[in-house]
Amino acid sequence: MEQELQLALSGLLAGFTYALVAVGLTLVFGITRVVNLSHGAFFALGAFVTCSVVQWGGRGFLALPLVFVLSLLLGMGLERWVIRPVRRHHAVVAIVTLAVAIFMEQIFQLVWGPDYQSIPRELPLVGFMGTLVDLQQIAAALVAVVLLLVLFGLLRTRIGMAVRLVAQDPEGAALVGIDVPRVQTVVFGVACGLAAVAGNLTAFAHSIYPAMGRVPLVMALAVVIFGGLGNVHGALVAGLILGLVASGVSFYVSPEWSYITMLLVIAVGLLTRPSGLLGRVGRRD
């Protein structure tokens, strides 16, 4: 029973991380119709900046506002000057964002070097009902939940309505006076900021290296597709499900089956619900 509890806890906490990365990606797709392949590089940026702050004697959590603002500004600049000029050509956008990811990896290598880096945890583990609860992971999940709640709350405000209108009908939004390009730029920046925050929150648990953003990107893409493209709630639910599946299969079947089972779950999910877990059938492309 203790083992099962430990596994469930690990799976849930891993799921929150997937969700935080994926929510940004799905938000960008929902608002701008762009699949941002540089999203993982912002995750890595968050981890690297956190690593530097810790190495300079600071606290990892204190780096959180810094990584968010830095990535927000970088993301807004990227959208405004790199993506906007080619946005109408979907294939070109994908290639451009991939090129940005590779470029950012090279910059990380130049600035931080190619070696694996690591930072120690700042919060301890505590015993709870026979399991070990990682307070740092709990704190990371809480921050992720708070950020997601803030995001969902914002989407229900007047500004959020404008954002949702841009997502549903950009032309209509422009006709009623909404500055569509500006909304798209800000949303893109916020999404990059969320990816960097995920990098910050999990930096203590992983090794940090220039190409570290690739796997979270693939996982986030899988979560986004599984949850329903452009559906923020779907991304959250899909992240949690996949986190639990990976954890369970790894323990009860074999670790080598966990990744492939996750992909299998996604494939079966999409075959039965082609629009994703919470996606709506017949939505506008």
Partner 1 sequence: MRGRAVLALVGLLALFVLSGCARAPETGLRVGVLAPLTGPFASQGQAMQQSLQLAAEEINRAGGVLGRPVELLFGDSKGTADATRSEALRLIHKEKVNVLLGAYLSEETMAAAEVAAENRVLLMVPVAATNELNARVANEYEKYKYVFRTSYNIDQWAGLMGGFIADMGVSRYAFVGPNIRWNRELAQALRDYLASSGIAPVYEEFYSPKEPALEPIVVALKGKGPGVVVLGDPGQHAINFVKKARDLGLKAPLFSVGGALGDERVARTLPAGGPLYFQAAAWDRTSEEARRFFAAYRERYGYHPVGYADVLARDTLFVLTQAVNKVGSLDVPRLIQTLEQGEFRAACGVYRFDRSHQARWGKGEGLQGMVVEWKDGRAEERWPRI
Among 247, 265, 269, 276, binds partner 1 (CB under 8 A): 247
Segment interacting with partner 1 (CB under 8 A) among 77-85, 87-95, 106-114, 155-163: 106-114
Segment interacting with partner 1 (CB under 8 A) among 39-47, 65-73, 168-176, 208-216: 208-216
Segment interacting with partner 1 (CB under 8 A) among 68-76, 78-86, 116-124, 168-176: 116-124
Cβ-based nearer residue to partner 1, 152 or 259: 259
Q: Does 132 bind partner 1 (CB under 8 A)?
A: yes
Cβ-based nearer residue to partner 1, 16 or 209: 209
* CA–CA dist 224, 235 (Å, integer): 5
Among 52, 248, 275, 283, binds partner 1 (CB under 8 A): 248
Q: Please write down the HEC assignment for all residues of the chain.
A: CHHHHHHHHHHHHHHHHHHHHHHHHHHHHHHHCCCCCCHHHHHHHHHHHHHHHHHCCCCCCCHHHHHHHHHHHHHHHHHHHHHHHHCCCHHHHHHHHHHHHHHHHHHHHHHHCCCCECCCCCCCEEEECCEEEEHHHHHHHHHHHHHHHHHHHHHCCHHHHHHHHHHHCHHHHHHCCCCHHHHHHHHHHHHHHHHHHHHHHHCCCCCECHHHHHHHHHHHHHHHHHHCCCCHHHHHHHHHHHHHHHHHHHHHCCHHHHHHHHHHHHHHHHHHCCCCCCCCCCCCC
| x/- letters, 250..279, toward partner 1 (CB under 8 A) | xx--xxx-xxx-x-----------------
Q: Does 134 bind partner 1 (CB under 8 A)?
A: yes
Q: Does 157 bind partner 1 (CB under 8 A)?
A: no
Query: Least distance from C-beta 170 to partner 1, angstroms?
Result: 34
Q: Does 129 bind partner 1 (CB under 8 A)?
A: no
User: Helix crossing, 255-272 with 232-252: angle to 10°?
Assistant: 140
Cβ-based nearer residue to partner 1, 59 or 121: 121
**Token code pair at residue 32:** 């701008």
Segment interacting with partner 1 (CB under 8 A) among 24-32, 108-116, 151-159, 232-240: 108-116
Among 59, 62, 118, 130, binds partner 1 (CB under 8 A): 118
* CA–CA dist 242, 199 (Å, integer): 19
Q: How many residues bind partner 1 (CB under 8 A)?
A: 46
Using CB under 8 A, list all residues that contact partner 1. 3, 6-7, 10-11, 14, 105-106, 109, 113-121, 125, 132, 134, 204-207, 209-212, 214-215, 218-219, 246-251, 254-256, 258-260, 262
